[in-house]
Amino acid sequence: MARTRSSTCWCDRRRPCWFFRSTSWRNFRSEEQAMQRSLVVKPCPAWLALYTALGLLASPLCGAAEGPQYQIERCCEVCPQTMLDSTYSGDLREFSKLVQGRGDWLFRTKNDLMTQMGTTAEGYSRLEKLRDALKKKGVELVMAYLPPRGLMNAEMLSRESQQAFDTELSKKNYLQTIQRLRSLGIRAPDMSLLLSQKADAKQALYFKRDPHWTSYGAELAAQVLAEELRKSDVFKTIPSKEFISKKDKSDLKNGSLNQAFGKVCGNSYANEYFSRFVTEPKAESADLFSDAEAPEVVLAGTSFSSPEYNFAGFLKQHAKVDVDNRSVDGGGFHSAMLQYLGSQDFQKNPPKILIWEVSSYYDMAMPLFYRQIMPMLADGCRASPASLSQKVALRPGMNEVLVNTGDKPIRGEDYLVDIQFSDPTIKNLHSLFWYMSGSVDDLNITRAPEVESDGRFVFNLREDAEWSGRTLLSLEIEMPADMPAGLEVEAKICPRAHGAKAELQAQAD
């Protein structure tokens, strides 16, 4: 097809000038076809296109030197709005700031180009306590701590981003985090070993325009994790089983970075194609599963562990053990752990190995997470008698649920709270804890929509230093106007395991 072309114009001699927009990409059968049209072309004037179509003018005039010209512009360069802090609010908060990479990759400067990771000294201390509490139940904690996406795909960064992002510092701090976790007695594989695998068009570790790894990256990560598991004496006691993974189908990925880019700039790239895999027992091992008990390895992770990428399946294959995937999409680093450790499945049949998959952009020092997870491990007030207990019918607005009428010395550092709603679908709790000093602890707990709720909330009373020694007066729960009809709640306050002495003293008093 003959075309006349200069630095500012491009015109088809055989038909009127064309105008392509990114919104039409969904009509192409492949990303390559779409990228061939990844130019926005300003058309010849309407009168010229019409006259050409009617045969009143010869079409070569469109490309003649004296004829009208039109510009070609790439459709998907990042727009100026991506550099504004004000752009990233609401549902765009986690995408700050979008920058373009090579080969039409997109990155986030905040999450993908991190050099500082890990957690605070207090966060590591809480992690160690969690590890110790799990060990008492016979559970070994393993952390699959994922490096920043920009570090794993540094060759796909633009020249400007490569200059601004200190990859050596990022890798150094990642490795220091791994060593710190190991020093706490937490088994943690070094996922930076994947850096030896270079991303390319066919087998990239991560999607170009989505934060997650591809199926290929998920399998490589599973291999590294499986190798680390084989070093565990606990893991060696788990019977081996054979699995095989196979391609299920091809699928499209409209990555979240691409969607955010479209909201900010008004353009978007083509969807990415990838292969989905499924994993199943080999024929000779299938009979072993007929009467098998629950898997002795549990994976509690983020959306990286979604069946979409088959990370759990690849782990079964390469570790040669069955894996119970309890991960939660869209729930952050904490939702899967809270959901699983708060379940009766865990209380009645804890696994030998608990794998916690966490991305490096999460701060593991989150106080509210540990305020819930530690008493959940002890099964709340189901494991000890309640010092205060009351069941009440709720109404919209504020409800007084518990009152310390006996002036019992219920102090935050020694007690926990166990709240059970009659409707298991309740996922949000707004509570006020009043203390005899006049201070009030306003506590909100919101669970992700993807979490399988049971209507139960278990957490410790406030225990920070400034709250130490304060005596609880009452508990109030606020309900929305659209609350379910006939809703009831049973609230209990009981001593923590280490607070048994305090409870005995309270009874004596």
Q: Where are the domains of the chain?
A: 3-74, 104-201+288-377, 380-508
Q: For the residues 63-83, what does the mean pLDDT come to?
A: 65
Q: How far apart are CA 143 and CA 31, in angstroms?
A: 36
User: Who has greater pLDDT, 165 or 3?
Assistant: 165
User: Who has greater pLDDT, 25 or 424?
Assistant: 424
User: Who has greater pLDDT, 103 or 75?
Assistant: 103
- Span 171-210, pLDDT tens digits: 999 999 999 999 999 999 999 998 876 545 446 899 999 9
In this structure, of 13-22, 79-88, 153-162, 386-395, the range with the lowest mean pLDDT score is: 13-22
Q: For the residues 427-444, what does the mean pLDDT come to?
A: 96
In this structure, of 74-83, 297-306, 402-411, the range with the lowest mean pLDDT score is: 74-83
* pLDDT at 222 exceeding the cut of 50: yes
Write out the DSSP string of 163-205.
Answer: HHS-HHHHHHHHHHHHHHHHHTT-B---GGGGGGS---SSS-S
pLDDT band at 508 (very low <50, low <70, confident <90, very high): very low
User: Who has greater pLDDT, 39 or 226?
Assistant: 226
C-beta separation of 357 from 306 below 8 A: no
- Span 121-130, pLDDT tens digits: 999 999 999 9
DSSP state of 48: H
Quickly tell me which residue has 């506590």 as its tokens. 443
Strands 297-300 and 353-359: parallel
Q: How far apart are CA 456 and CA 116, in angstroms?
A: 36
User: Who has greater pLDDT, 54 or 316?
Assistant: 316
User: Annotated active-site positions, please?
Assistant: 210, 212, 303
Q: How far apart are CA 497 and CA 414, in angstroms?
A: 8
* pLDDT at 159 exceeding the cut of 50: yes
Report the percent of the chain where pLDDT is more than 70: 80
Topology of domain 380-508, CATH:
Jelly Rolls (2.60.120)
Average pLDDT value for the chain: 85
* pLDDT at 24 exceeding the cut of 60: no
Q: How far apart are CA 97 and CA 109, in angstroms?
A: 5
Q: Where are the beta strands (DSSP E) in 282-414?
A: 297-300, 324-325, 353-359, 388-393, 397-403
What DSSP element (H or E) covers 503? helix 500-508
- pTM of the complete model: 0.82
Amino acid at 302: T
Q: For the residues 217-229, what does the mean pLDDT come to?
A: 97
Q: How far apart are CA 381 and CA 134, in angstroms?
A: 18
User: Who has greater pLDDT, 52 or 359?
Assistant: 359
- Span 260-308, pLDDT tens digits: 999 999 988 999 999 999 999 998 665 655 555 789 999 999 999 999 9
